Structure 1
């Protein structure tokens, strides 16, 4: 596995690596980590240290050199950063899987660090490169249904289903004991990348409105800042009701989810948000956590409209109304909680990972 940009815990790469290891494969993953470690049967090695995106690009030859020296039977590469390496490894006759976690042809249009006039050209370039490489590599894995038709016939849909093995449940039970959750506080949680487009300001405004109306709500805000937004959010009156936890390992995130009353996933209708399926939505349901989510048809139809309340994106008023309704209707929260648990019993990584294992069997046969 080559994913030098991603951290070595709590993501799609780790789920895939551990599933392969459990099946008997010997798996080594190059990722962002402080030191090399073997965990749950997977050997994690440190990616070349890079400060900023330019250094990551400059150090790609080091990643390629590691891959060549390793002499793996299959090279599983993640996200567009690895497109040049996927091509080079195929030229060398290696078996290569390209795994794209998002629809980057849309997601790049939202990247604020890219000058506005470059976003569209880069989006077209990445889209073309991914389509080209899909005809070159041994297999392609995508997360969204509409991506399957965009790439070659070697493409398979591998959705981001929640992954909560028994050992994680046991660790969450231990971690949640140390989390202070006041009995009289209506506790909300958001877990994921933090930005304006992912609802930061909407959530903060709704918090202020709830408390002004007598609902003692607080928000656990967990995740990395994707674009500069926290300094601006801290100036809002609702920020006093936010507990910013920052970036945490998945087990810690789950422990907060397990102690919250309602989960939030109120993304704005930009980029590929409406067509992507956010992992956090399914993770809330896995922990029996009712949610309030943006009313996107793709999301709602996939879960059968169950597990939470759906609101028009971009409205702090609608969000505060939905949260106030759930605060005063504990029986409805219990119904939604049970719906979420039922959904998780049908849609989980244990079932979804069969696609991954089938792809590997096919390539290696």
Structure 2
């Protein structure tokens, strides 16, 4: 079932994922969300192989959350950093989305790897793009921390008639 907000996702969805994972006959369980790390630790205690897919730098993201006060941002970032290091040291591996994130985990997970998820041009075929307008789409959170202002400014420097579509929610008023 879909989570009903941030708190529900962190508390109840984690329990649902844990219970469901116990019913699977999986060789490896790969977790994609930081709030699932407690479930990953419980699954490890049950003898399951668990890998964490770190596709974001959560402590850094916490420092930029506009709905948190600056002292709370720093506190949560520091607390999550300690928790993440302890949890991931007990898991079987870490897959990172970037080399910088991988390098953060290497001291505690020497086998941590970076697997970038760039699209392969050959999967799209050149014919599909013939006659199409030049456009790019950004999908995700629209925030200063994610560089949305820089993306829009960079578009003014383009020498081609490229359109940029933005799909997501603005998390900061006036951005």
When normalised by structure 2's length, the TM-score is 0.76
- The structural deviation recorded for 1:129 is 1.4
Map of 2:5 onto structure 1: 52
CA contact (8 A) 2:94 2:105 kept: no
For 1:1-365, list aligned pairs within 5 A: 48-59=1-12, 60-142=14-96, 143-145=98-100, 146-153=103-110, 155-164=111-120, 166=122, 168-170=123-125, 173=128, 181=133, 189=136, 191-193=138-140, 194-197=142-145, 198-200=147-149, 203=152, 207=156, 219-229=163-173, 232=174
- The structural deviation recorded for 1:66 is 0.8
- The structural deviation recorded for 1:228 is 3.4
- Describe the superposition over 1:239-285 as per-residue Cα deviations: whole angstroms up to 9, x where unpaired: xxxxxxxxxxxxxxxxxxxxxxxxxxxxxxxxxxxxxxxxxxxxxxx
Consecutive aligned runs of 4 or more in structure 1 exceeding 3 Å deviation: 187-190, 204-207, 215-219
CA contact (8 A) 1:103 1:147 kept: no
- Equivalenced residue count is 169
Structure with greater proportional helix content: 1
Structure exhibiting the larger radius of gyration computed from Cα positions: 1
CA contact (8 A) 1:131 1:150 kept: no
Unaligned runs of at least 5 residues, structure 2: none
SS of alignment partner, residue 135 of structure 1: helix
- The structural deviation recorded for 1:191 is 2.2
Cα RMSD over matched residues?
3.2
Unaligned runs of at least 5 residues, structure 1: 1-47, 182-186, 234-365
Question: For the structure 1 residues 77 and 114, does the alpha-carbon distance in structure 2 shift closer, same or farther, using more than 3 Å as the test?
Answer: same
CA separation in 2, counterparts of 1:205 and 1:97? 36
